[in-house]
Amino acid sequence: MDADKQDMTGYEPAPGPVDIEAKLGMATARRALWVAPPLILIVALWRGGAGAAAAAIGVAIVAGNFALAGFLLSKAAVISLKLYHAAALGGFLLRLMLIMLVMLLIAQVVDVDRLAMGLSAVVSYLVLLSWETVAVARGETKELEWS
């Protein structure tokens, strides 16, 4: 292994682009398939059919947000480290605002249970973020290893 190809951590760069952030974002979005059914059922028991539909919309918005975050971070990482940092911090705030704007737009266009949609978005966001954090900390995402 050439010394110039190896960084200070001892890892050799992977050949070609590795979109680790995009893979993490998609993995988190896929986990929404496990989070959505119990959440929708709970909301359906609490708020009825309209609440269940709104809960599904809330979870879908959050899953899309995680996928978008991963995509944006992957693209920023290829360009520069400074852009990556800006995308991580500024992008987080912008994506939270995007969630809010999409939910407000949906609430204006469609008659939806706003309380159910909002609470399901918050709950699913926190559950998915926690789940992905634990999975990465436990090393359950071995396909994302750099070496």
pLDDT digit string (tens) for the chain, length 147 residues: 444 444 444 545 455 566 888 888 888 899 999 999 999 999 999 999 999 999 999 999 999 999 999 898 888 888 888 888 888 888 888 888 999 999 999 999 999 999 999 999 999 999 999 998 888 788 776 666 554
Q: What is the DSSP letter of 46?
A: H
Look at the alpha carbons of 74, 76, 82, 88 in this order and tell me if their dihedral is positive or negative. Answer: negative
